[in-house]
Amino acid sequence: MADFTSGLRPADPQGPSLLAQERARSSIDVEQLAKHLLSRNDFLGRQKRILSILTRIPLFSKRNLLNIARPDRYQLGLARAKTLRRLSLKHGWDQEDYLMAEYLMDEMGPYALQSSMFATSIREQCSDEQKAYWLPKVENWEIIGCYGQTELGHGSNVKGIECQAKWDPQTKEFIIHSPTLTASKWWNGALGRTANHAIVVAQLLLPGPENDKYESYGPHQFIVQIRDMESNKPLDGIVIGDIGPKYGYPGMDNGYMLFNHFRVPHGALLSKYSGVDIEHGAYIKPNNPALVYGTMTFIRAQIIMHARLVLARAVTIAVRYLSIRRQFSDRDSKEACAPEEAVLNYPTVQIRILPLLATTFALHYTGESMYKLYWSTRRQIENTGDISRLAEMHAASSGLKSICTTLAADGIETCRRAMGGHGFGGGSGMVGLNNEYLSKPTVEGDNWMITQQTASYLIKRMAEVVSQPNFKPQDSIHEQFQEYILGTKDSRKNSNGLDVVGDPFALVAAFKQRVSYLAHQMYQARVIETEPWTSLMIPLHRLSCAHAESLLVSNFYEAAFTRISPPSPDQATVDILQTLFRLFALFTLRASASEFLVSRTITVDTVAHVTPAIQKLMTQVRPHAVRLVDAWSIPDYLLESDLGSYDGDVYNRVFQRAHQENPLNMLTFNSDWRSEEIIMGEGEENASKRMQALALGVAGRVRSPSLSSKL
Amino acid sequence: MADFTSGLRPADPQGPSLLAQERARSSIDVEQLAKHLLSRNDFLGRQKRILSILTRIPLFSKRNLLNIARPDRYQLGLARAKTLRRLSLKHGWDQEDYLMAEYLMDEMGPYALQSSMFATSIREQCSDEQKAYWLPKVENWEIIGCYGQTELGHGSNVKGIECQAKWDPQTKEFIIHSPTLTASKWWNGALGRTANHAIVVAQLLLPGPENDKYESYGPHQFIVQIRDMESNKPLDGIVIGDIGPKYGYPGMDNGYMLFNHFRVPHGALLSKYSGVDIEHGAYIKPNNPALVYGTMTFIRAQIIMHARLVLARAVTIAVRYLSIRRQFSDRDSKEACAPEEAVLNYPTVQIRILPLLATTFALHYTGESMYKLYWSTRRQIENTGDISRLAEMHAASSGLKSICTTLAADGIETCRRAMGGHGFGGGSGMVGLNNEYLSKPTVEGDNWMITQQTASYLIKRMAEVVSQPNFKPQDSIHEQFQEYILGTKDSRKNSNGLDVVGDPFALVAAFKQRVSYLAHQMYQARVIETEPWTSLMIPLHRLSCAHAESLLVSNFYEAAFTRISPPSPDQATVDILQTLFRLFALFTLRASASEFLVSRTITVDTVAHVTPAIQKLMTQVRPHAVRLVDAWSIPDYLLESDLGSYDGDVYNRVFQRAHQENPLNMLTFNSDWRSEEIIMGEGEENASKRMQALALGVAGRVRSPSLSSKL
């Protein structure tokens, strides 16, 4: 629209010049730091290569996403997923390339399960014969798959699922059946409208010795064709649908599915580890399932690495925008018309953003450390068969998944709120980010539930320490536990507790000391006093959080102080990383200060110095904030944020999105309450019908609303 | 759809029977408690009366809201707003009735500013002559209004707004002008597509004594016609539009507006308190603006009362659903197939939900107390002209607005996450609630900014205490401050600190002691050591939070222990209220335990007992949880939640919404990646065009060079 606004520009100072000044204030070598952070699997090179392909495809534009109806949004998701598949063939992408494309498109589309859960199940749970049959079809995308585990009535408690697979010895088939409504599969991605095949998790029921009463052998995986390959309609005996709108994932068709005595052949049961004897209907017992924990650790390491990039995205937007945004002048200024301050200069804004900036690095080094642990444990198992480290690895990954996804989910919203009004707008890039990520604290193990596994492990280890032959009750239990479990024995504590403010290593020791104290308390309560598990759940959760925080702090310390991993940045940058370490650790300590006090790790006098120390560290980080987020190398296409773009041209972008691209502004409305007309000129009767249809949707029409009757 | 699922029901036990059991476990008289909580302005009677009208109107159905496109969503909002206006005339609603309808419809529609900010400005800022002209037009809805204060470049800092109103002594007109892009009005509700008039806040510029250089007299309000009354198009010289999608408020057209030397008459300046002499162009100074604070206090009391109902809504859904939802059996159970536990029985779930249940009551009693303070202060001013209590009231209302809206906003998300997978679904009723409420920590005074006003007040009062003629430095400053400011002198502290676990009143004393300690610290830093204000912002924020929490605790204590207000519930219910008080206060104390320790209010030994005490209190509250949320009387129409409906028929409702009402399920899709077709039978070419249009939106239709260059 050409009008007088085309001659206007934002009030000075301009965003781009402000960001240039910010970048000039710091000597951090962004490229070097980016390489240090993002060299694994050639992340940076891959990002650049895939990005240049994606941004040339108009269908992949993100500009209109918040304007369209949910049914249309799924269709766009499907169209994009198809295009992505074709691109991957054209350019010969490997799996990592494909994942990079999904990350940059920032969309969980209807094919997202194909090469993840669907293919993985077939690869890892099928017998060789099954694999030979199914894997080529999956890898060539001849069939489109999904993974059907969770149900309307059961999520976390997989053992409780109700869907049944009953062996019929007569016909040598399994009868898959949903005996109740709550047995309906629920939430399964790609199931709702897309997939023609599914991995279905069902209770395996086999007849007893006399072929009479059926017994359950627990949940097992079956591969089932669910839709006709021509019409894409559900097969007879199966009811399927999309579960409807939800928080985030608008382009994905999360589905429901019920079976009415639906028969599948003997070969449908994925039978690498267990099976049913086709002749006698006897159960074939599975091998040691411990290796499953290994895979879970790998997935959780990926979740942590993803969490760091998601949080980095929010922090990038916040740091850039808040360096540009000005509001109020200094209260103590003597000038009559003092210039307004950059919002990021206010300590009340810094305290919300800069510890989160430090957190992105904390997550990074722990994610790296989890990968290393996974690969070394895997090698150990493959070479020696020794699975002794699996439990430690699983405990760490559970506690870390819980805390890292909570940190990222809460962190996004903290950044959004710190951005005031514009943090609210659709052009902030925060609305979709928030909505999409909010599933993470729930999926892959609920964050308040999986911590029990970590706590349970720590109690067992504490019991081992106490029952050691060389255990000396006269010594400090905590020191012995630390030495035995946590790999350090360091007690620099004097009568004033640890000097967490002055000595970086004291922070590491403080976090370990707290774990040890809480672990011993829980050992005492559960093992000695045999208190009911349920009654201990709150302190058990705290114990797990303490352990996970201790790992975050230790790994960060190691990376910044003792063993900076190559390609390493220059010393000036390492100094900043050390400052970020102290900021992260002190901020985390402050949030649970009373636990450090109760465990006599620090004193009340020390606590009083923590907040001033945090504030001082923040002033040291502040000049480097923009360069530090630059190092995370989040491209503008991924940010999709008027506030956080690399160039800092905030207000022109915000205005253009509203003034040039908002479909609502193409229409003029009749705002007179006495008229039922809505769009000027459409007439009262048309408007009434249209509005009624919008309000009632399917409920009002019975038959399909025309999805194309938009505007 | 009639299929085999119509014969299925959820696995036992059924939700309705579980809720019936829950209700049978408690003897709380729900009706009596509801009257105690909701008698102000006949809330309950009004709710019943308005509800029965609204639920008969098909246009007011909420079933389809998450499926429709944003431009349609605004149109539906406009249609509903018109219907609501007509209903209000038909039924002779007063303002309270109208607000009740808006509350129950849970929609901020395009007329929402008409009787609030627009009418209020005219009533309170117009001269008698102006009022006589404008008020009838506003009250008859002949004109539709909005309120244009915030701008693209300025929100909280009203003094910094850039829009100008320059007095032209020749023509006796004001020239309203936007000199920059950031001067654009921004965020203003109803402006985008609806309103034909606006209150515009602009810097008043008057020529100097020689009619030469202009001087600014700060922001003033002008009433301006902005659209043609026939065509509803913006008048020449004004550019207006809707700012686009944002977090929540999809039915509202938040707008932007720029002026190009737009002339308005002398009478456009609202001139009850200040004005411009039409003859000489001289400024007429305003009266004491202190009364504005009074109105703000009233609005903030309303915000607190709204926060309690919003939080009650989230807690109602969570308590009901989590009483029904079962997952896992007790780990210590000896039974082979122990029944699964209600999720609300797990302490790790209780700790997230039950303190929030207690918080609804805490907010309630403080909201009540704020109303009382407002009316008594107003009476005092009207009767005696004594405005001495305004500052106290304003300080309290600022601190409370900050903390109460944060508690509610965070509380909603805490409830949602506690509900696991289904908390995620569109049928939870939590998605819209979350999105809508997330503006509240930002609007009406940013929650991290307005706390400075509270802290500033407390420092002044501390300075007064210290400079009192009878101040005795040898006595405890804190006791003298408490007596002077906080109205109590109670020091039950012994060498073990206050007995906050055992003695309810000790909790009140502890919160006051903490305020006094922090206030004295800030007095010392700011007044004695003259530290820069900005450097103190973090502890100043904490001081304000401590004061607000102290008010919440004191008011709750008073209501539950010393002065239960009529109509009062029976003693058994009062006992529960007292338990809820202790739960709220101890939970709040625990969250900031280190501040209580640093201020020597409690000892480290006491802290160790707080969590077990909280857990014990929760087991006392647990049996009453369902009846307690019932007392908040949130109707199903407002909840719009399959999980939280009064009858507890969770799974049937969740399934029906997906299976009967999801428009996406009316279509069958071509999921073969080799075909560009999307809907089965539509053909590849049609699909390609449609998908391209969806992706690019307006950007694909109108000239937008920058977008295509970016892609």
Q: Are B701 and A114 in contact (CB under 8 A)?
A: no
Q: Are B345 and B619 in contact (CB under 8 A)?
A: no
- Residue from B6, B68, B428, B701 whose CB has the most chain A CBs within 10 Å, to mutate: B68
Strands (E), B275-327: 275-276, 283-284
pLDDT at A697: 92
Size of the A and B interface in Cβ pairs below 8 Å: 515
Q: Are A111 and A77 in contact (CB under 8 A)?
A: no
Q: Do B11 and A153 touch (CB under 8 A)?
A: yes
Banded pLDDT at A710 (limits 50, 70, 90): very low
Q: Do A193 and B156 touch (CB under 8 A)?
A: no
Where does residue B563 rank: exposed (0-12), middle (13-18), buried (19+ CB within 10 A)? exposed
Q: Using a CB-CB distance cutoff of 8 angstroms, which residues of chain A are in contact with residue B535?
A: 347, 615
Given the cut 0.90, state whether the ipTM is greater than it.
Answer: yes
Q: Are B24 and B667 in contact (CB under 8 A)?
A: no
The widest CA-to-CA distance across chain B, in whole angstroms, is 96
Query: Which distant-in-sequence residues (6+ apart) come within 8 Å of A562 by Cβ?
Result: none
Q: Do A68 and B70 touch (CB under 8 A)?
A: yes
DSSP state of A561: I
Q: Using a CB-CB distance cutoff of 8 angstroms, which residues of chain A are in contact with residue B658?
A: 241-244, 256
**Tokens, residue B280:** 């000489």
Q: Are A187 and A165 in contact (CB under 8 A)?
A: no
Facing B10 at nearest CB: one of A182, A351, A692: A182
- Residue from B63, B82, B652 whose CB has the most chain A CBs within 10 Å, to mutate: B82
Candidates A387, A542, A392; CA nearest to A460 is A392
- Is there a catalytic annotation at residue A444? yes
Query: Which distant-in-sequence residues (6+ apart) come within 8 Å of B382 by Cβ?
Result: none
Q: Which residues pair with A174 in a beta bridge?
A: A167, A264
Candidates A545, A548, A539, A547; CA nearest to A521 is A539
d(CA A667, CA A649): 28
pLDDT at A707: 32
Is it the case that residue A161 has pLDDT exceeding 90? yes
Q: Are A606 and A501 in contact (CB under 8 A)?
A: yes
Q: Is A420 annotated as a binding residue?
A: no
CA trace torsion B18, B22, B24, B26 (10° rounding): 180
d(CA A332, CA B30): 54
Amino acid at B608: A
Facing B664 at nearest CB: one of A74, A449, A694: A74
Q: Mean pLDDT of all residues in chain A? A: 92
Domain B119-287 has CATH 2.40.110.10: yes
Range A3-13 average pLDDT: 96
Length of chain A: 711
Q: Are A48 and A97 in contact (CB under 8 A)?
A: no
Please provide the CATH number assigned to the domain covering A295-331+338-631. 1.20.140.10
pLDDT at A340: 92
Candidates A10, A21, A28; CA nearest to A344 is A21
pLDDT at B629: 98
Min mean pLDDT across A243-252, A318-327, B295-304 is at B295-304
Catalytic residues of B: 444
CA distances from residue B12 to A149, A512, A535, B623 in whole angstroms, order as listed = 20, 46, 26, 21
Candidates B16, B341, B12; CA nearest to A183 is B12
3-state helix vs strand vs coil in chain B, percent to 5: 55, 10, 35
Q: Is B607 left (phi over 0), alpha (psi -120 to 50) or beta?
A: alpha
Query: What are the CB-based long-range contacts (under 8 Å, 24+) for A87-92?
Result: A87/A53, A87/A57, A91/A53
d(CA B122, CA B189): 17
Spell out the domain ranges in chain A.
33-107, 119-287, 295-331+338-631, 667-696
Min mean pLDDT across A234-248, A458-472, A616-630 is at A458-472
Query: Which distant-in-sequence residues (6+ apart) come within 8 Å of B689 by Cβ?
Result: none
CA distances from residue B519 to A213, A555, B470, B516, B581 in whole angstroms, order as listed = 74, 39, 20, 5, 25
Q: Which residues pair with B284 in a beta bridge?
A: B275
Range A307-322 average pLDDT: 98
pLDDT at A705: 38
pLDDT at A112: 94
d(CA B116, CA B108): 12
Is it the case that residue A296 has pLDDT exceeding 80? no
d(CA B429, CA B423): 8
- The CATH topology of domain A33-107 is Butyryl-Coa Dehydrogenase, subunit A; domain 1 (1.10.540)
**Binding residue ranges of B for FAD:** 150, 189
Q: Using a CB-CB distance cutoff of 8 angstroms, which residues of chain A are in contact with residue B347?
A: 534-535, 537-538
DSSP state of B534: G
Facing B66 at nearest CB: one of A67, A70, A340: A70
A324-383 pLDDT, tens digit each:
999 988 888 887 778 999 999 999 999 999 999 999 999 999 999 999 998 988 888 888
Backbone angles phi, psi at A258, to 5 degrees: -125, 145
Q: Is A189 annotated as a binding residue?
A: yes
Q: Do B659 and A110 touch (CB under 8 A)?
A: no
3-state helix vs strand vs coil in chain A, percent to 5: 55, 10, 35
d(CA B116, CA B111): 9
Facing A594 at nearest CB: one of B64, B594, B651: B594
pLDDT at A566: 84
Banded pLDDT at A510 (limits 50, 70, 90): very high
Q: What is the DSSP string of A626-670?
A: HHHHHHT---HHHH--TTT-TT--HHHHHHHHHHHH-GGGG--B-
Q: Which of A173, A340, A413, A444 is the catalytic position?
A: A444
Q: What is the DSSP string of A249-300?
A: -TTS--EEEEESSEEEEGGGB--SS-EE-TTT-PEEPP--THHHHHHHHHHH
Residue in chain A lying closest to B534 (CA):
A346
Query: What are the CB-based long-range contacts (under 8 Å, 24+) for A690-694?
Result: A690/B75, A691/B59, A691/B75, A691/B76, A691/B79, A692/B58, A692/B59, A694/B64, A694/B68, A694/B72, A694/B75, A694/B76
Q: Do B431 and A242 touch (CB under 8 A)?
A: no
Where does residue A249 rank: exposed (0-12), middle (13-18), buried (19+ CB within 10 A)? buried
d(CA B270, CA B259): 19
Q: Are B622 and B350 in contact (CB under 8 A)?
A: yes
Strands (E), B113-254: 145-148, 164-168, 173-177, 185-188, 197-207, 214-225, 238-242
Candidates A120, A141, A131, A272; CA nearest to A199 is A120
ω into B13 cis (within 30 of 0): yes
pLDDT at A474: 55
Query: Which distant-in-sequence residues (6+ apart) come within 8 Å of A388 by Cβ?
Result: none
Residue in chain A lying closest to B337 (CA):
A160
Banded pLDDT at A706 (limits 50, 70, 90): very low
DSSP state of A152: S
Q: Using a CB-CB distance cutoff of 8 angstroms, which residues of chain A are in contact with residue B71?
A: 67, 663-664, 667, 710-711
Q: Using a CB-CB distance cutoff of 8 angstroms, which residues of chain A are in contact with residue B532?
A: 330, 332
Q: Do A81 and B673 touch (CB under 8 A)?
A: yes
Consecutive 10-residue averages of pLDDT for chain B (711 residues): 90 97 97 96 97 96 95 98 97 96 95 92 94 97 96 91 96 98 97 98 91 89 98 98 94 98 98 91 77 72 94 98 94 84 97 98 96 89 85 92 97 97 93 90 91 96 87 65 60 68 94 94 96 97 97 96 88 97 98 94 94 97 98 98 98 96 96 97 96 90 44 35
Q: What is the nearest CA distance from B597 to chain A, expressed in angstroms?
A: 7
**Tokens, residue A232:** 């894409």
Q: Do B241 and A665 touch (CB under 8 A)?
A: yes
A566-596 pLDDT, tens digit each:
888 999 999 999 999 999 999 999 999 999 9
CA trace torsion B208, B209, B211, B217 (10° rounding): 30
d(CA B110, CA B133): 24
pLDDT at A5: 96
Banded pLDDT at A625 (limits 50, 70, 90): very high
d(CA A510, CA A500): 7
d(CA A556, CA A552): 6
Q: What is the nearest CA distance from B70 to chain A, expressed in angstroms?
A: 5
DSSP state of B663: G
Q: Do B671 and A194 touch (CB under 8 A)?
A: yes
Q: Which residues pair with A200 in a beta bridge?
A: A148, A222
Candidates A148, A196, A152, A164; CA nearest to A261 is A164
Model pTM score: 0.95
Q: What is the nearest CA distance from B654 to chain A, expressed in angstroms?
A: 9
Q: Do A327 and B424 touch (CB under 8 A)?
A: no
